[in-house]
Chain A
């Protein structure tokens, strides 16, 4: 699919370039640049000409920009890489043709490029159109089928070099739930969240968000695109930008959003939830206490207005009273409709707020059940609650 898109784009570009070369008087690109500059030269005599000159220069730059945009679009997958190299080569070739002094040759190449481009762009763009319509229909159908299930993880494997960190774990998160992932150090909790937010690529299995694949063995969406799909990850160790102010940290949370009014509303709301942050908006985030930094991390993740919030050990290294406050806020956020996947070592608190729990041990899920059932089970009580 991606390859088809690329070839449609390259074809269209070839068409334009080739047509210019074939039809244009001679050395079109050079002429345009020259014309623009000469017009700019005349601009010292009259400002009106400057506008025209600038327009002409922009016009000359447009095909180049289109090329850059297309190459820019390809950054993952072997096919994409190959195609970007190909496009680069063709661009070089095109440039060569553009400055080719023997005119007949320039025209010949131009005509050839036009025909080649048309042959490439025509069929493939029809193919892309048909496929994308079919894909959209499928996506709508599968979203309908999966309504209620926000996140599905299917036998996910992650390797760090030779270390098998996750050994085929599967889990499901329903819309509106708090699901907690329990386990000791090195069980793979953080790795699971990293795989969900695109920081690590799985070596097997897949992750589905509302029926759409976001990570498979062949590749994961980059983190910024996963954020765009509505997954926000407050990482382990809080991930506060200590060199920025509290306000700038919060603004970064809403990086992908453009709706200023709604962002301002959400910021106001976050500051109502965390009044401590309001007092410190202009302070550098590095000067905050541990609890305040955790609040900032959660508030920042909320500003992305996520549908799924991934929280990694929000109670780590916090005093018990602050832990209470944080868990109360987690509950509040969930009541407002945000689904939460909560990784915790503090199993006692986590099972109190969660609807459902999974227990991870050395990369495998050993138990999963309703939170109440887990809290009452002997193994969990012994291993994680320090009872019995």
Chain B
């Protein structure tokens, strides 16, 4: 039984990270109706920025203080937010009125650019690196045979705090109201006096900040960083995208539910069936959910625009 709960715990933590990334996909899709393929690269950038800042500050691989950890985390999140803003400004905004396929291809282009540009020797380099331990990952306690790490608790609390903040923002504030109005009809939203370009930019900033947080936590949990264009980053982002689709893309609750579902499924499948088939099972869940509910668990049927 402790084996089961152990898997459940790991899956839950993993699910929180997926949810953080899926929120970025879902926010952008809700507003612009396009899939930001560069999002998984922002996750990668988040982790690598943290590594870079740690290098600059001369942080070694031993455990470091909470103040420095938070500083690195904050700087890296801010940097990714800036990257998200820049991507939107330079790559997507000029295509606002272009056919949807153009912006999709651009997103793939941005993704390839980020993966390859960051491999340059004076950026991050093209080798795997060890991630400084911003927190002691191994410290923890036992509950009925299940090992619970403090780091896992921190990850879950942090992720849920961010999600709660995000849903407060979207459902309770003026900016959130503007975001929901734009997701329904951009043109009419601009007639309300909403500066649509600025609100869309904020959406990218928010999504990228969440992705950065997820990237750093993942990097710290694994203790090492795959090189920027590694397929492990792409697979990580892709699974988060599946979470968004399973939960119903465009829906915030859906992203969280999808994240947890996929995270837990992945771990249970890996533990009880076979870790080599875990990915296949995750994709199987996607197919199953889409067969029963084509618009995802929390998805609403798309309103056709006339």
Residues of A participating in the B interface, judged by any CB pair closer than 8 Å: 30, 33-34, 36-37, 40-44, 61, 68, 71-72, 75, 197-199, 222-224, 227-228, 232-233, 235, 239, 241-244, 248, 251-253, 255-256, 300, 304
Contacts and interface: CB of A to CB of B under 8 A. Distances in A.
Interface residues of B, number: 34
A75 B184 contact: no
B177 interface: yes
Given A40-B67, A243-B180, A224 B195 contact: yes
B181 A43 contact: no
The 9 lowest CB-CB distance pairs between A and B, nearest first, are: A227-B193, A239-B188, A256-B193, A223-B190, A37-B71, A41-B67, A224-B195, A252-B192, A40-B67
A67 to B, nearest CB: 11
B178 interface: yes
Given A241-B184, A252-B189, 5 more contacts: A36-B71, A222-B195, A227-B192, A232-B191, A248-B180
A228 B71 contact: no
Nearest to B303: A242
Given A37-B68, A239-B191, A224 B180 contact: no
Interface string B68-85: 101110010010000001
B66 to A, nearest CB: 6
A40 B187 contact: no
A228 B181 contact: no
A242 B57 CA distance: 51
Contact of A42 (B67, B89, B194): B67
B58 to A, nearest CB: 9
B303 to A, nearest CB: 7
Interface of B: 56-57, 65-68, 70-72, 75, 78, 85, 89, 174, 177-178, 180-181, 183-185, 187-198, 303
B187 A199 contact: yes
A239 to B, nearest CB: 4
Contacts of B57: 34, 37
A252 B303 contact: no
B187 A224 contact: no
Contacts of A233: 191
A243 B184 contact: yes
A146 B144 CA distance: 83
A142 to B, nearest CB: 25
Contacts of B65: 41, 44
A291 B303 CA distance: 21
Nearest to A303: B192
Given A241-B188, A255-B193, A255-B194, A41 B71 contact: yes
Contacts of B178: 252, 255
Contacts of A256: 193
Contacts of B85: 68
Contact of A197 (B66, B189, B191): B191
A241 B180 contact: yes
Contacts of A223: 190-191, 193
